[in-house]
Chains A and B, each alone.
Chain A
Amino acid sequence: GESVGLHLPTLSVQEGDNSIINCAYSNSASDYFIWYKQESGKGPQFIIDIRSNMDKRQGQRVTVLLNKTVKHLSLQIAATQPGDSAVYFCAPPGWGKLQFGAGTQVVVTP
């Protein structure tokens, strides 16, 4: 099965700074990854995805980097805002199912 883990359970970031959230995976056959954001009391919300034929993908204020050699993903949030406070999950939807890693709680401080 897939093992998906995150390096840091909680990340405290000052408003305006950049955030970097890391995610490791174990199955080298995973070819598609999704980052989700879950705010308190809400369901997970899609942020950005990346396929294994890419090393980098950019969205609005977010960038995902994929290093297939070391099986590592990162999500970078530029100019972190209070609304970015949430739990962030990476998920490889392999074998017809979407399974989540442990998640990283991002806390934005003023």
Chain B
Amino acid sequence: DTEVTQTPKHLVMGMTNKKSLKCEQHMGHRAMYWYKQKAKKPPELMFVYSYEKLSINESVPSRFSPECPNSSLLNLHLHALQPEDSALYLCASSQETGSEAFFGQGTRLTVV
């Protein structure tokens, strides 16, 4: 199994809502990542987890809150988002940080 599964595929939320994005991998990878991608732009790194601990936070606003409940799961909790947060959110995993990463298909988020 070389898949990274993200749910939901699409999400529309209001600025006062609280929602969560989920990511799952069963490759035994110990590094997991969240990226944000706007249209016609490269993915921008948000968070890196290594061995279930947050190792990198790229100065992401606190309205985005990551969580790694176990080595296979990664969540991104969303609260009080702004319309400019609308983007494709990508999850990835790799054997270790700095090795080849496998990406999920992303969650297309629209904030209204």
Contacts and interface: CB of A to CB of B under 8 A. Distances in A.
Interface of A: 32, 34, 36, 41-46, 49, 89, 93-103
Contacts, number: 60
B21 interface: no
A93 B42 contact: no
Contacts of B81: none
Contacts of B102: 46
B90 A96 contact: no
B27 to A, nearest CB: 13
Interface of B: 4, 31, 33, 41-45, 48, 50, 55-56, 90, 92, 94, 97-106
A95 B99 CA distance: 11
Contacts of A45: 103
Contact of B42 (A41, A49, A101): A101
Contacts of B94: 93, 98
Q: Provide the main secondary structure of the chain B interface.
A: strand
A97 B56 contact: yes
B100 A97 contact: no
Q: Provide the main secondary structure of the chain A interface.
A: loop
A96 B56 contact: yes
B105 A97 contact: no
Nearest to A105: B40
Given A43-B104, A93-B94, A96-B48, 16 more contacts: A34-B100, A42-B105, A43-B90, A44-B43, A45-B103, A49-B100, A89-B43, A96-B98, A97-B45, A97-B48, A98-B45, A98-B98, A98-B101, A99-B45, A100-B42, A102-B42
